[in-house]
Amino acid sequence: MRRYKVTVTTAADGTATAYTPRLSGKIQQIEYVKTDFASGVDFTITGEATGINLWTESDVNASAVRAPRQACHSQVGAAQLYASGGTAVTDRIGLSGDRVKIAIAQGGATKIGTFHVIVD
């Protein structure tokens, strides 16, 4: 596995956008390490090329770890379910030659947070 560490510093208005280097593989997890982002910070973390959602959460107050997954589908586009009408089957999200885009809102003026993107 590979770890991509991105330190993000907000502007005076509490917003920021930062990127990992280009990477390829399945996203295992994304770790947020709070330094001094304001409590209630909002994250929108996506694949840059397609906008695929990796982690969107509002009002985050402390360090957190998320393991993003996406729904699986059959060859005809039908949702894969564990049982008829059951829970959706999910799998890791893959990126190929793409960057992870980290957008911050309400982070406080010139505050810092760090993200670790773990890729297999």
Residue 78 carries which DSSP code? P
Domains in the chain: boundaries: 2-119
Q: Structurally, what CATH architecture does the domain formed by 2-119 represent?
A: Sandwich (2.60)
Nearest to 107 by CA among 3, 2, 22, 8: 8
Give pLDDT tens digits for 48-62. 999 999 999 999 999
Give pLDDT tens digits for 73-91. 999 998 888 877 788 899 9
Distance CA 28, CA 112 (A): 23
48: left (phi over 0), alpha (psi -120 to 50) or beta: alpha
